[in-house]
Amino acid sequence: MLPQIKTILYTTALGSHTRPVFRFTIGLARQHNARIVLLHVAEPLNNSVRFLMDSYLSPEKAQQLHQEATTGILQKFHQRLESFCKEEFSATLEQTELISEIRVLSGVPYEVILHEADRCEADLIVMGVHSGGARRMEFLGSTTRRVTLLSKRPVLIVPVADTDSNEWHKALI
């Protein structure tokens, strides 16, 4: 018996490959009558920025500024994803049944992706990988690599070429 796919966790870094991978995910969801949980993970401020903030501001002010910046960034990414979905579906999220929710969270990307896959009981995780030809196909990004190695769930990696040609397909042959 084939496994049933009811929930797909689609992760995006909101890069240039977002649309083709999202469209692939939509097609997959329609084939399986599944729902999509859309996830974007914003990495927290790096240590250099935190050090600078701590050097020039009081600990309370630095924490407040960090909290305000993080909240603002997450809200903007959420709005961007809502607009993106509206463009792709020519409808609001309430009018489409494919997207069950949009999640924008802060943290270490691979950890958040794995946690969210458990939380939403995803049957499949879909991620895109930006290919730069045959040579770059040998390498996956660190987040993609960690998710594929540590996930308890199937992970589908969708390659996207730099151009409209089938460069990624040629690289795999």
Give pLDDT tens digits for 73-127: 888 888 888 888 888 877 666 657 888 999 999 889 999 999 999 999 999 999 9
| From the candidate CATH numbers 3.40.50.300, 3.40.50.620, 3.40.50.1100, 3.40.640.10, the one assigned to the domain spanning 7-172 | 3.40.50.620
What global pTM score does this model have? Answer: 0.77
- CA 25, 28, 34: angle at the middle one, nearest 5? 100
Domain boundaries of the chain, sorted by first residue: 7-172
Q: What angle do CA 168, 136, 47 make, to 5 degrees?
A: 130
Other Cβ atoms within 10 Å of 7 Cβ, number:
19
